[in-house]
Amino acid sequence: MTALSITYVVLFYVAMIILFGGLINKIMLYARVPAPLKIPVTPAPLTKAGVVYRIFYEVVFFNSLFRGSKWTWIFGWMFHLSLLLAFFRHLRYVISPDSFIWPLVNNMVVQSFGHYAGFTMVIGLAGLLARRILVDRVRYISSPSDYLMLLLIMGIGVTGLGIAYVSHTDVVQLKAFIMGLFLFDWQNLPSDNVLLVHLTLVLLLAVIFPISKLLHAPGLFFAPTRNQVDNPREQRHISPWGAELEAKDGRNA
């Protein structure tokens, strides 16, 4: 194996440990910290099924953002949807052709949508970046990290397009490398520059994820303003520490 391949194998494992370790840690924290009071933003659903629908609608269509800012919605939604399509296309690198889900991934629809999603992803990101620079209010609230995050993901998109259209790589060898990572049967990585930049940026994104604003992804599911059922009069809501207070003075008896 080449030194380069060994380096990337190590980097890959480190990045995945940080990504999943960090994310699980954060998700467990969000789940552990209680919500002591009912604070759904109303009108809110009266049932759990309603809450699932509300969150689903937010996750899939960015409903509140749509109401709040049309430009941000257009660019933001375009970017996220493209990211999802590109992700589906990339699944072909981690699924064996023998697998029963292979046809779900290796078909015209997924592959061609994923192909062009690269462009819409970069356009969406460029729109978000333009807004961040041009709108005085958004510029005011932006830190260097907010710009760098956009540039990082744009870099991933542009290098991805570069591999697809300009500087092709040996995808068979690439797949062997990636499958090898999962099977602990390490293989050589093609040493094309564009590919290496692409992979490096992806690994960087993975490392940053659990320590940055990218935590909005799990956070979305934990916001009490959106995930609580509007039934405070019908069902008593009490947190463990609220119950402790009560037990101490007995005034709710």
Alpha-carbon distances of 66 from 196, 227, 240, rounded to whole Å: 37, 19, 36
The answer to whether the CB of 81 falls within 8 A of the CB of 59 is no
The CA distance from 150 to 125, in Å, is 6
The CA distance from 29 to 33, in Å, is 6
Q: How far is the CB of 74 from other proteins (least distance, A)?
A: 12
For residues 57 and 87, which CB has a smaller minimum distance to other proteins in the complex? 57
Q: How far is the CB of 159 from other proteins (least distance, A)?
A: 23
For residues 67 and 100, which CB has a smaller minimum distance to other proteins in the complex? 67
The answer to whether the CB of 124 falls within 8 A of the CB of 71 is no
Q: Which residues are CB-neighbours of 98 under 8 A, at least 6 positions away? A: none
For residues 45 and 190, which CB has a smaller minimum distance to other proteins in the complex? 45
Sites of contact with other proteins (CB under 8 A) = 26, 29-30, 33-39, 41-46, 58, 62, 64-65, 67-69, 72, 76, 131-132, 135-138, 140-146, 148, 211-213, 215-216, 219-220, 222-226, 230, 232-233, 236-239, 241-242, 245, 251-252
Q: How far is the CB of 204 from other proteins (least distance, A)?
A: 13
- In terms of phi and psi (left: phi > 0; alpha: psi -120 to 50; beta: otherwise), the region of 153 is alpha
The CA distance from 121 to 82, in Å, is 5
Q: How far is the CB of 107 from other proteins (least distance, A)?
A: 32
For residues 58 and 198, which CB has a smaller minimum distance to other proteins in the complex? 58
For residues 26 and 90, which CB has a smaller minimum distance to other proteins in the complex? 26
Residue 15 sits at the vertex; the CA angle it makes with 13 and 206, to the nearest 5 degrees, is 140
Q: How far is the CB of 155 from other proteins (least distance, A)?
A: 17
